[in-house]
Amino acid sequence: MNREKPIVLSGVQPTGQLHLGNYEGALRNWVSLQDDYRMYLCVVDWHSLTSDFNDVKGLQDRIFQTMLDFLCSGLDPEKVSIFVQSDVKEHAELHLLFSMITPTPWLERVPSYKEKADLLGLDSYGFLGYPLLQAADILLYKADYVPVGKDQLPHIELTREVARRFNNLYGDVFPEPDGLLSKFPLIPGTDGRKMSKSYNNDIKLADSPGETAKKLKKMITDPKKIYKGDPGRPEICPVFAMHEVYTITRNVNKISETCKSGDLGCVDCKTNLAENMNTSFNNLRNKRKELEKNRDYVLNVLERGAAEAREKAAATMSEVRKSMKLVRSYG
C-alpha cells in the first residue's frame, strides 16, 4: 500500500445489515476514495455499546453482516484496512489519555450529545465521552481527512481542538484533520422520512428482489393522488425521489410528466422503480451471497486489517507516550 497518500479515517457502527441510505451516503463514497487515499475503515463496536450496551448477544453477527455489505459494495481489502475497533486496544489508551486533557464542557456542548441524551435517555460516562473516543479513533491514525456529513462537522471540530491542546501541552504529535464533505442523494425511507433502521422504513442491500418490491409497494406517495387518473406531484413524492437515483434521466423526466398528467398510476410507477432498483443491485447482491458462504475470508480481511491498523496505532502511541513522559528511562 502507498503510505504517501493522504490518510482518511472513517468509522461505522456495526448495526447489522446496511440499508440503501448507508450505501448511497457512505459506502459508495468510500469506494470512490479508496484509490486516492490511504484509508482506515473502523467498525466501531465500542461506540455501539454507548447505546446498545444491553444488546450484545448479536454483536458479532452484526459485525459480520456489516462486513458483507462493505465487501459486496466494492471496498477492496488490498486498498483499505478494514478492522474492528476493539481489536486495536490503542484506541482505548488514547481515549483515556485524551480524557485527562479535555474539559467536560467541550463534550457537553457537542450538539448531538444533548439531543441524543434527551431522546434516548442516555446519561452514561461512555456516552458523554463518545466524541472523545471518536477523536482518538481519528488521531490514532493521524488522519488528514474524515468523510462526514454537515451534521458531523462539530465532532471534527472537537477532534481538532483536542489535537491542538495535546500539541500545545506535549509537543507536535497530531495533525488537525479536516472533514471531507461529499454530496450524496438523501434516500427516503418507505414512510417518507429519512431512511433509518430505527424507523423501520429501510430497504436493505441484502433484501431480495421480492422483498424490495414488497417494501416499495407500501411506500407512501403523494397523498392527493389516490386513483391513476389523478394528477400527482412528483416533487413531494418519495417514490419519485428514489426514481431520481435509480432510474435513467430520460425515463425520470417521463415519469414526472405522466405522474403530473395522471397517465401514470402509483402501482405501475412503483413496479417500474422496483425493476430498476433490482437491476442496479443485482451484481452486488449476488456477491453478498457468495461472501456469506465464505466466513473465513471475511474474518481474514478483519484480521489483516487489524494488523495493519495496529502497526500505525503502535507508532502513534509510541510518540504519544514519549511526549507525555510515560516511558521510563533512568539512564
Which residues bind to ligand SF4, rule: CB under 6 A? 221-222, 225, 232, 234, 237, 239-240, 259, 264, 266, 269-270
Query: Least Å distance between CB 24 and ligand SF4?
Result: 19
Q: Helices 59-72 and 266-293, interaxial angle, to 10°?
A: 110
Q: How far apart are CA 63 and CA 329, in angstroms?
A: 41
| Nearest to ligand SF4 of 42, 264 (CB atom) | 264
Query: Least Å distance between CB 154 and ligand SF4?
Result: 36
Query: Least Å distance between CB 211 and ligand SF4?
Result: 19
CA dihedral sign, ordered 98, 101, 105, 111: negative
Helices (DSSP H) in 73-225: which residue ranges? 90-101, 104-108, 111-120, 125-128, 130-139, 153-170, 209-217
Query: Least Å distance between CB 213 and ligand SF4?
Result: 14
| Nearest to ligand SF4 of 58, 231 (CB atom) | 231
| Nearest to ligand SF4 of 263, 303 (CB atom) | 263
Residue entry with cell 477532534: 159
Three-state DSSP state, 146: strand
| Per-residue CA distances from 286 to 14, 28, 90 (Å) | 22, 17, 37
Query: Least Å distance between CB 236 and ligand SF4?
Result: 8
| Nearest to ligand SF4 of 9, 269 (CB atom) | 269
| Per-residue CA distances from 24 to 164, 176, 190, 196 (Å) | 33, 27, 16, 13
Q: How far apart are CA 235 and CA 243, in angstroms?
A: 11
| Nearest to ligand SF4 of 39, 239 (CB atom) | 239
Task: For residue 241, count other CB atoms closer than 10 A to its CB.
Answer: 16
Three-state DSSP state, 124: coil
Query: Least Å distance between CB 285 and ligand SF4?
Result: 24
Query: Least Å distance between CB 223 and ligand SF4?
Result: 9
Query: Least Å distance between CB 57 and ligand SF4?
Result: 39
| Nearest to ligand SF4 of 205, 264 (CB atom) | 264
| Nearest to ligand SF4 of 143, 255 (CB atom) | 255
User: Longest C-alpha distance within the chain, in Å?
Assistant: 89
| Nearest to ligand SF4 of 79, 254 (CB atom) | 254
Q: Are 81 and 2 in contact (CB under 8 A)?
A: no
| Nearest to ligand SF4 of 268, 290 (CB atom) | 268
Query: Least Å distance between CB 270 and ligand SF4?
Result: 6
Q: Helices 153-170 and 130-139, interaxial angle, to 10°?
A: 70
Give every CB contact of residue 83 below 8 A, 6+ residues apart in sequence: 40, 41, 42, 43, 302, 305, 306, 308, 309
